[in-house]
C-alpha cells in the first residue's frame, strides 16, 4: 500500500447532506462526532463543502427539489469519492416509498457505495459504514487509474 493510499484511508473528510427527511439520522451523525462515539479518531472531519470532501453522507429520501442539488454536489466532489446512504429513507425510500414529490431512494439519483439501514440509524452503524467506505475509496481510485491507462492505450 502506498503512502497516499494509506493516508486516504486515514483521513476521510465528510460532507453531510440532509435531503428532506425527518432529521433523525442527521442528529445521529452529529452524535458520531461527540466524545461518546468520536468518529474523529479515524480522521473523520466534517467539512460542509463538497470540494474538500471524500465521503458524502446523505440523509433522508431525495425530494424532487433536492435531486438537482444532490447531483451538483456529487459532481463537485473530486475523485475518488464515496456516497453513503444513511438511514432507511436514503437507502430505500422508507416510509416515503411511492409518495408524490420524491425520487424514492438515493441510488436512483447518484451511485451509492454503502447503505446504512436503520430508522434511526445508530451511531455505531454510521461509524461502521464509514469504515466500510474507506476501503472503497482506494478501490475506486485504482479503477479510475486503470481506466485512464486503458483510454490512453486505446488512443
Partner 1 sequence: MDGLLLLSLTVLVPVLFGIISYLVPGYNLKKYAVILCALVLSVASLLILYNGPQNLTVESINIGMSLPVSTIIIALDFLLLLVFLYFGYKDREYKVLGLAVLQLALLAYLELFVAGGEEAGITFVIDDLSIVMCLIVSLIGSLILLYSIGYMKGDKNVSSFFLIMMVFLGDMNALIFANDLTWLFFFWEGTTLCSFLLIRHYRDEPSIKASDRALWMNLLGGIALVCGIILIEMMYNTRFLSELFTAQATMPGALSFLPAAAIILPFAFMAVGAFTKSALMPFNSWLTGAMVAPTPVSALLHSSTMVNAGVYMLIRIAPLILIFGGGLLSTVITIVGGFSFMFCALLALSQTDSKRILAYSTISYLGLIAMCTGINTWLAITAAVALLVFHAVSKGLLFLCVGEITHIIGSRDIEQMQGLIAKAPLVTVITVIGLISLMAPPFGIFVGKWLAFQSASTFTQIGWSLVAIFFIIFGSIFSVFYYSRWAGKLLATKPAETAPPAHHDWYMEIPLIILAAGIFVSVALTTIFFTQLIDLPDIYGQEPGGLVVGEVLRSAFGGFSPLMFLILFIVILLIPILIIRVPKTSLTPTYSCGTGKEPDIGGGYFETLIGESKLLKYLNPIGILLLAILFLAVLL
Partner 2 sequence: MITLDDPIIWKIAFPAVMLILAPIIGGLLIGIDRKLTARLQNRAGPPIVQPFYDVLKLFGKEDKIVNKTYLVFAVAYLLTVVLSTGLLLFHYDLLVITFMFGLSFIFLVLAGYSVRSQFSYVGSNRELLQMLTYEPILLLVVFLDRLVTGSFQIDAIWSFTEPAKTEPLLYTLPLALLALFLILPIQLRKSPYDIAEAHQEIAQGPVTEYTGKFLGLVTIAHFYEVFFVLWFIGLYFVQNWAVRIGLMALAFLFSIVIDNVTARLRVDQMIRQVYIIGLLLIIVNLAYILITGKWIA
Candidates 45, 69, 119, 131; binder of partner 1 (CB under 8 A) is: 69
Which residues have CB under 8 Å from 63's CB, separation 6+?
19, 20, 101, 102, 103
**CA–CA separation, 126 vs 27, rounded Å?**
11
Does residue number 47 form part of the binding site for partner 2 (CB under 8 A)? yes
Q: Which three cell numbers stand for residue 138?
A: 482506494
Site for partner 1 contains 75 (CB under 8 A)? yes
| Locus of grid cell 425510500 | 93
Please give the residues from 115 up to 144 whose contact with partner 1 meets the rule CB under 8 A.
none
For residue 25, the SS3 value is helix
Region near partner 1 per CB under 8 A, out of 38-46, 70-78, 128-136, 138-146:
70-78
97 interface partner picked from partner 2, partner 1, none, CB below 5 to 8 A per type: none
- Rounded-to-integer distance, Cα 65 and Cα 83, Å: 19
Residues that bind partner 1 (CB under 8 A): 49-51, 68-70, 72-73, 75-76
Contact residues for partner 2 (CB under 8 A)? Answer: 3-8, 10-11, 13, 35, 38, 40-43, 45, 47-49, 51-52, 54, 76-80, 141
Amino acid at each position: 500500500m502506498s503512502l497516499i493510499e494509506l493516508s486516504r484511508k486515514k483521513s476521510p473528510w465528510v460532507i453531510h447532506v440532509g435531503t428532506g427527511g425527518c432529521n433523525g439520522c442527521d442528529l445521529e451523525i452529529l452524535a458520531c462526532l461527540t466524545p461518546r462515539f468520536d468518529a474523529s479518531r479515524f480522521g473523520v472531519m466534517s467539512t460542509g463543502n463538497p470540494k474538500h470532501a471524500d465521503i458524502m453522507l446523505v440523509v433522508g429520501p431525495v425530494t424532487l427539489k433536492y435531486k438537482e442539488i444532490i447531483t451538483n454536489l456529487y459532481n463537485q466532489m473530486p475523485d475518488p469519492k464515496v456516497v453513503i446512504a444513511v438511514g432507511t429513507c436514503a437507502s430505500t425510500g422508507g416510509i416515503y416509498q411511492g409518495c408524490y414529490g420524491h425520487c424514492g431512494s438515493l441510488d436512483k439519483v447518484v451511485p451509492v457505495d454503502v447503505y446504512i439501514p436503520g430508522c434511526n440509524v445508530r451511531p455505531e452503524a454510521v461509524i461502521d459504514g464509514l469504515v466500510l467506505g474507506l476501503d472503497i475509496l482506494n478501490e475506486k481510485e485504482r479503477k479510475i487509474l486503470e481506466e485512464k491507462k486503458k483510454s490512453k492505450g486505446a488512443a
